[in-house]
Chain A
Amino acid sequence: MHNAERWADRTTIHLPATAGAAVKLLGELGSEGRLLAGGTWLMRAPMTSGHYIALAGIAELRQIEIGQDRLRIGAGASHAELALALDGLDDLKGLADAAGGAANPAIRRRATVGGNLCTTAFAASDLASALLAAEAEVTLITPAGTLRQELAIYLDWRRTSAAQHHLLQHVEVSRRAGRRLCHARLPLRRAGDYPVAMVSLAAGSDRQGRLADVVVAVGAVESQARRWPALERTLTGQLPCRSAAITCAQANLCQFAGREGPEVPGWYRQQVLPELVARAVAQWAKAGGQE
């Protein structure tokens, strides 16, 4: 075997030690360079020759800091690391479920939070939906300096040409007393495939135990996760019961047009949303002892 000839054009993988060095490289390589996080998305297609800037060696990106009122997740943390770190935090259970339910165990050990949020081609990111509901903010390093954005804005911004040379550094979520985040996902099998639809819900409660300050995000239904403002308004002030959840969701269902795909037709993604809202609300009630 002539191994030396195995790959006609060899690839270069750079392993910078700091986020700053990575961004510098990104600037230098221009259109030649691509970021490589966990690799679980890029490696599915044969990698083209060129330069890859691997983030695996950047320790600062892997940190997960859990404070009283704030959670900071390094973009290089894996899904598995995140799920483990959040284990037992009732208010963020939905985020732990999103991180711990995506794909399968071996992929969760490799796929990173940052990679999941940066990949524009991936509509079924559990984390994008859960973090949207958590009203997360992202911190980006760009050649022009550090930039902070709401995740909702970032998801649009990452598709623009301005986003070309940025590095997602970390994601921050504020923790507010009495607020709980839940995540309901619908894979076609019990697990192991990407959900065809998902609903994330964050809310507090008023004195009567009704939903307050509701935030709802929907993932996988359209090409990008987004919030569901009309439902947020309708759900606010409702008792956390199944029938209310379904009624409210049904009333606002027309705001989503399901994405067609080989796995399910578009209408299906839309039609299962009321059930997913009901499941998310049920989880929320259960976590608050209101079963």
Chain B
Amino acid sequence: MNLKTPFPDPVFARRDAFDKLRGRTRYTVDEACQGHLQAYLLRADVASGEILRLDVSAARKMPGVRAVVTASDAPHRFGIGVADQRLFATGRVRYKGEPLAAIAADTLEQAKAAALAVDVVIRPLPAVFDMAGALASGAPLVHPDWATHEVLLETRGAGRGGNLAWESQVRRGDVDAAFSRPDVTIVESAFRVGRQIHMQLEPRAAIASYADGRLHLIASTQAPWTVKNVTARALGLSPARVRVTAPAVGGGFGAKYGCTIEPYAAALALACGKSVALVPSRAEEMLSCPCRENADILIRSAVTRDGRIAGREAVVLMDCGAYGGEQIYLTTMTAHTLGSSYRLEAVRLVSRAVYTNTAPNGAFRACNGVYNIFALESHTDEICQAIGMDPVEFRRRNVLGDGDLGSTGQVFQGDVLGPMLEKMSQMRSKGATLPSDDGRLYGRATTVGTWFVFVGPSAATVNLNPDGSATLVTAGVEIGQGTMMQSLPQIVAAELGLSPCDVVVHQADTDAAGFDVGVGGGRTTVSLGAAAVAACTEIRQKLLALAARLLQAPASELSLSQGRIDRVGHPGTGMTLASLAQEAMQITGPISGSGAFTRPGVAAMDGCAAGHFLEAVDIPVFAVHDCDVAVDPATGQVEVLRYRVVQDVGRALNPSAIHGQIQGGVVQGLGYALHEEVTLAEDGAFRQAGFGSYRIPLAQDVVPVEIELHEGAPSIGPWGAKGAGEVPILNVGAAIACAVSRAIGVRVQELPLTPPHVLALLQGRKPALQLHHPQDWPARPGTNPPHSTAAVSVAG
């Protein structure tokens, strides 16, 4: 789509704001609190153990109890890359908090009382809580039966074995040769990050009912089709017997991208035939939260004196917790985050998902990218220091441009990051100078980052109604991001010449809408939008053909605009869309269109990627962030003084909505960078249990982000758009870390930069982070970890 074609109605307010402000919006948790049985999950209180006895007979007899389900009710394994998980711990407990039984009773208190009546005996087994321990030789295996797990996604050359859930590799060019060149400086860096909890205000929640042989789940989910398919698989049902609907969702950020709690409600509803609501308490929500994973990153580069990156290699360990889940898939992303942004002459990356006896991790806004960009940008600054080059100049020289190769050999199109860096310099030069004479330490940094739109299949149906309005039917969910309220009705309106107010958006319902991957990865506007455009194209063709007949004019001379169809250049000569739609009733019947979209597939270079689910990215998205910080040397407190973003949006369909996403995403990133910390207790459980101990940014901790949207980069998205909601969090950890590092003159290797962390760096209390992968250089696949002798090459 030519950028010169104006996109109509870029200012379009969200239609859900009025009710949300007044507390009228009914979220799943609001439906759940009256009129349903209430469910409670009995969870294991050890991290690793053998279940010797689990007797629920006494619990069944407790007052108010209507159903109790256990492992035998849901014996089927499911997962994302590997089917390694069951609904309930079966024979063995793998993390503290793993569900053992689910109970439905008239009240939550009764269900909890019944849980206490379950007779359970678990013999503790050795547990492993950190990745280094899990990969050490002789470590207790989280899945001793790993070899029997079914592999669900086919890739070439993945490694797995023992506590290594998945390994993917990238290899392009001769890295060994690059590192042995006489004219390069070798810079090696190590980084570590902890987990991040979503803390979305509405907990995950599900209401299940069973009628006419089918399950109906009302779920607070980002991915109704995933809930449908995983629930069916876990319970051994045909997916056709499961319907999922999703009302307004009170925040997700990835916590609701997988299917986690819904099957428990479903199993209970199946068991008793009554509707069952499952809403975890905040403490339960946190202890079982599919967090952004903790990760260890070891990276080194061979850089020439003039600042070219001759070779780069890295090993990234990602903690998947007790089950592989998203992390298996996310090993793929390292190639496109850590391996991106810069021109690399040769590159070798190893990305490993590692099992530990901790709660399973999951998806969180800009999965894998946030910490890999932190590592990459901090490493880049360390390189600049080593070779004595200005960090912005180094980035200008090395960022990917038109025709450059990504790590897997994909060819990037267009000069995007370069001009964005230029825009950032201009933004900076306009800013006022900050006072810096108050005894605090000042620092600033500019960072770059690469993300991509996770496209994937989507379906859309559009009905043109007899009154001239249109209804868009998809499985897309409004989780707060605004897509369903703003960009999608805007796109349909633009395609059909309507006002966006006249486009009704149907709430997600898997019985009404075709398949969709879900809300995540910045894909909704792009994938559902492209499917909607395709559906509208069908409608346009039908309308134009019909109008050509009625108006006695060739279809090519007609145009749709402002709710009318007229001859081009002769407004008012044709008819309204409403009258045309009514005419259609007599001639063709009601007019509708259906559309679909899937990733067109961009080529990687043959043989570069192994074990990847996505070897090249269809729509890269770039971001440049810049910040100024002040550090109090007495307390280690970091104040963010200014924050600036230049974001590649392809085309801004609704600038106000995008600005809102950027402000919110940056602030979530500030939490990750500065405040939000998860630490494990000795039993592997989180020490943070609520909003009191897990500190997310409050109003006084934030600044207004200065924003410039970069338009015009190539995109296959509808009207040239790219996803804009995912990427704002991408560079924040990096920008803050680099700025703080410059302020205090000490290398920053870990996030979050809480006041004690910063003060420890200032006082020299923190020893340099040593990541012990002695056998990791060179980062060759298959030379480790200890169980890799048994690793299999997965079919594909």
Contact = CB atoms under 8 A, between A and B. Distances in A.
Chains A and B touch (C-beta atoms under 8 A apart): yes
Contact of B756 (A1, A6, A7, A265): A265
Contacts of A274: 634
Interface stretch (B106-114, B416-424, B461-469): B106-114
Interface residues of A, number: 26
A188 B760 CA distance: 15
Nearest to B37: A1
B113 A8 contact: yes
B107 A194 contact: no
Given A8-B113, A189-B675, A272-B635, A263 B35 contact: no
A100 to B, nearest CB: 15
Contacts of A8: 63, 109-110, 113
The majority secondary structure among interface residues of chain B is: loop
B573 interface: no
Contacts of A267: 765
B698 A262 contact: no
B698 A268 contact: no
A264 B110 contact: no
Contacts of A268: 636, 755-756, 759-760
A186 interface: yes
Contacts, number: 68
B35 A264 contact: no
A1 B33 CA distance: 10
A278 B632 CA distance: 14
Contacts of A7: 109
A191 B109 contact: no
A8 B111 CA distance: 11
Interface in B31-86: 34-35, 63-64
Contacts of B63: 5, 8
A1 B110 CA distance: 12
A271 B757 CA distance: 13
A5 B110 contact: yes
Interface string B718-754: 0000000000000000000000000000000000001
Contact of A190 (B35, B688, B700, B756): B700
A241 to B, nearest CB: 14
A178 interface: no
Given A189-B675, A271-B759, A263 B635 contact: no
Given A191-B698, A275-B635, A263 B693 contact: yes
A278 B634 CA distance: 10
Interface string A249-291: 0000000000000111101100110110010000000000000
A280 to B, nearest CB: 13
Interface in A155-207: 186, 188-194, 196
A186 B637 CA distance: 10
B687 interface: yes
Given A8-B63, A272-B634, A264 B113 contact: no
A262 B693 contact: yes
Nearest to A279: B634
Contacts of B110: 5, 8
A152 B763 CA distance: 34
Contact of B763 (A2, A5, A271, A278): A271
Contacts of B6: none
B626 to A, nearest CB: 22
Given A189-B697, A190-B700, A190-B701, A5 B634 contact: no
B679 interface: yes
B695 interface: yes
Contacts of B106: 1-2, 5
B109 A188 contact: no
Contacts of A5: 63-64, 106-107, 110
A73 B755 CA distance: 35
Which are the 4 A-B pairs with shortest beta-carbon distances? A275-B634, A190-B700, A262-B687, A268-B756
Interface of B: 34-35, 63-64, 106-107, 109-110, 113, 632, 634-637, 675, 679, 687-688, 692-693, 695, 697-698, 700-701, 754-756, 759-760, 763, 765
Given A189-B697, A278-B634, 4 more contacts: A6-B109, A8-B63, A264-B755, A268-B636
